[in-house]
Amino acid sequence: MALIKVENLTKIYNTTAVPVKALNNVSVEFEKGEFTAIVGPSGSGKTTFLNMIGGLDKPSEGQIIVDGVKLADLKGSKLVEYRLHHIGFVFQAYNLIPVFSALENVEFIMLLQGVPKKERQQRARELLEAVGLGDRLNNRPGQLSGGQQQRVAVARALASRPEFVLADEPTANLDSKSADDLLDLMENLNQKYNMTFIFSTHDARVIKRARRVVTLRDGAVVNDQTSN
């Protein structure tokens, strides 16, 4: 059974004078352990697609089934609980808590999960060291560069040990070395723990490493290629 099954997914935004069809009858499946890039020009529906899979937005038509669970059947706190324990998010805008240190930001999701203090602090420290921020544990987001904030966001997404990670342009603000280090870490987690990664990206470095590339154009899948 596929980990994620997307069936006839359509999303129409009616917030403007002319309705915008962000996704157009998309059907695609993702198996556990994939390392997949969702690509396409700006406005092709990549971010909307990730938001739908993550339960952050609701379809106009169609459905999403994650590990046998229909996201549409999860309401309110059940959906929040599901996202907390199953999905890791890396947002383009970081979404870090400004009054928390880097360590506290990474710890926070584990606090919500009920992970004991000693364990969550150790895991947060190890992840921040893994993304090259072992010397910035006590810095708040405002004291970090954009690239450093992005690495904190990635560490936070991985801290919950999710079934899959949804990453929206995770390397967009990183220099080449930081991007390569980050991708090395993600590949290692993918291979070691069979953790599933789905990226939306324009970055050739991410696309080169992806084992599967799904191309969106005008909200529809126009190509789906898997490398050996």
Domains of the chain: 4-226 (3.40.50.300)
Distance of alpha carbon 138 from its chain centroid, rounded?
25
Q: How confident is the model at residue 196 (pLDDT cuts 50, 70, 90)?
A: very high
The 10s digit of each residue's pLDDT in 158-184 is 898 898 999 998 888 788 888 888 888
21 forms beta bridges with 12
- Other C-beta atoms within 10 Å of 212: how many? 16
Q: What is the dihedral of CA 169, 81, 162, 177, to 10 degrees?
A: 30
pLDDT of residue 228: 67
Question: Could you tell me which residues come within 8 angstroms of residue 73 by beta carbon, excluding any fewer than 6 positions away?
Answer: none
Q: Over 80: is that where the pLDDT of 16 sits?
A: no
CA 82, 84, 89, 91 dihedral sign is: positive
Run of H or E residues at 82: helix 77-86
Residue 223 buriedness (CB in 10 A; 0-12 / 13-18 / 19+): exposed
Run of H or E residues at 206: helix 204-209
Q: DSSP code of 71?
A: G
Q: Is 101 helix (H, G, I), strand (E, B) or coil?
A: coil
The 10s digit of each residue's pLDDT in 125-136 is 999 998 889 999
The pLDDT mean for the chain works out to 91
pTM of the model: 0.90
Q: Reduced to 3 DSSP states, what percent helix, strand and coil does the chain have, rounded to the nearest 5?
A: 40, 25, 35
Q: Over 90: is that where the pLDDT of 214 sits?
A: yes
Question: Could you tell me which residues come within 8 angstroms of residue 152 by beta carbon, excluding any fewer than 6 positions away?
Answer: 94, 96, 102, 105, 106, 128, 131, 133, 141, 144
